[in-house]
Amino acid sequence: MDKLFDNMMECIFLESNFSLAKIKYVEEDYGWSTSVYIAQKPEGDYFIYLNIPENVLSYVTNDIQIKLASLIKGGSEEFEQIYGDKVKISSSFDKNATLIIVTTHDVSVKNNVMKQVMTIEEDPYFFKKQVLPIPQEELPIISSSFDVHKGSYLTYIKNLISDTGRFNEFTRSESLRMTSKEVEYSFVAKLYEKLPFLSLFVEKSNQEDLQEKIDTNLTEKQRVHCDELLALDINNLDDWFTEILKEEVDD
């Protein structure tokens, strides 16, 4: 389970056709180490990913991100190249680098974690920052969902986030405890919120069909008022409302 998000993010970077490298980060002060992934777009945008324990989140802004920036900018020769062209740190790095942090937490510390997330994301220094906090109780569901779709993560998350049936099921749920399907949808929605390079596919709609549906559900009087609203001069709003009120009184 420790490598769940490392493997997931590595696959998402690869399927997104980024150049990808990684370097070992050892944090002696806080007793942990991890792999730092550096993904680069051909145009020069950088995405730095790492998994951080919940108990060291408070050290990100004043300590860890400083060490990370120094490690990455000074250690490019030590990068382990995973895919694509060699990742090189250019002069555009400081303005075009986003730090993506994944962290898991127990439900008992959720409020404190969310405060730490806000502090990190609002900090303007070194990196643009996105933090994805995951409740530990959701890990088995997330792991199972992604295991089924190995090798096609992007297709999986794009199809799921675009599934209007799943979206409606998720948003209309009145249960205090999410089902497995709702946990799955919630996590993918968070990925789209936190990973700036993910994009939604929006289908074009037929405006004539939409207008027909609107007209079918409006009374004749409502359609007249709708047409009047669309043609209304914003400078004549007072006159229009006065006329509507007069008609209501007369009726």
Tell me which of 194, 215, 242 is where a domain ends: 194
pLDDT at 247 > cutoff 80: no
Average pLDDT score, the chain = 84
Answer yes or no: is pLDDT of 100 > 90: yes
Do 182 and 115 share a structural domain?
Answer: yes
User: What whole-number percentage of the chain has pLDDT above 90?
Assistant: 43
Identify whether 201 is part of a domain. no
Q: Does pLDDT of 166 surpass 70?
A: yes
**Pair 26, 55 in one domain:** yes
Average pLDDT over residues 29-49: 88
Instruction: Say whether both 212 and 90 belong to one domain.
Output: no
**In which domain, by residue range, is 235 found?**
207-250
Tally of domains within the chain: 2
Residue 218 in domain: yes
Cβ atoms of 144 and 187 closer than 8 Å: no
The number of CA neighbours under 13 Å toward the Cβ of 122 is 6
Give me the long-range contacts of 131-134 (CB less than 8 A, separation at least 24): 131/57, 131/101, 131/102, 131/103, 131/194, 132/100, 132/101, 132/102, 132/103, 132/190, 132/191, 132/194, 133/54, 133/103, 133/104, 133/105, 134/5, 134/102, 134/103, 134/104, 134/105, 134/187
Cβ-contact 74, 130 below 8 angstroms:
no
Q: Could you tell me if 16 and 42 lie in one domain?
A: yes
Are 126 and 85 within one domain? yes
Under a CB-based contact definition with an 8 Å cutoff, are residues 46 and 93 in contact? Answer: yes
